[in-house]
């Protein structure tokens, strides 16, 4: 699991089977200090509460499909939580 920042939303009315009702958000993966790391992905919002600007954590590959109510849907990234705060030891916290 990694950190991500929600930077946008995607609307796609024509979808594959099992994807109905799933909110798609654009997520920018982050490193542990919350700097951009790698390219943005479109993730399903398994928490249904994430909005633009939100700091989240997300799972990839099969675990993303496992986050959905219906099993084995074609999802490869899914937001599974919103971050309230992070305390890092090397920040002197």
Partner 1 sequence: MKLARVAGTVVSPISHPFYDGQRLLLCDLIDPDGTPNGYLIAVDVVNAGVGEHVLICDEGTSARQIYGISTGPVRSVIVGIVDEIS
3-state DSSP call for residue 76?
Answer: coil
Q: Toward partner 1, which CB reaches closer, 17 or 85?
A: 85
Region near partner 1 per CB under 8 A, out of 6-14, 19-27, 66-74: 66-74
Q: How far is the CB of 74 from partner 1 (least distance, A)?
A: 15
65 phi, psi to nearest 5 deg: -65, -35
Facing residues of 62 across strands?
none
Q: What is d(CA 42, CA 34) in angstroms, rounded to the nearest whole number?
A: 18
Residues at the interface with partner 1 (CB under 8 A): 1-3, 31-32, 46-47, 49, 57, 59, 61-64, 66-67, 71, 78, 80-91, 93
């Amino acid at each position: 699991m990694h950190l991500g920042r929600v930077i946008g939303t995607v609307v796609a009315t024509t979808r594959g089977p099992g994807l109905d009702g799933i909110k798609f958000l654009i997520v920018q993966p982050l490193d542990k200090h919350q700097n951009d790391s790698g390219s943005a992905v479109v993730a399903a919002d398994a928490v249904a509460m994430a909005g633009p600007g939100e700091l989240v954590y997300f799972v990839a590959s099969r675990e993303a499909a496992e986050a959905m109510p219906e099993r084995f849907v074609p999802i490869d990234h899914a937001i599974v939580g919103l971050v309230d705060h992070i305390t890092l030891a090397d920040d002197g916290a």
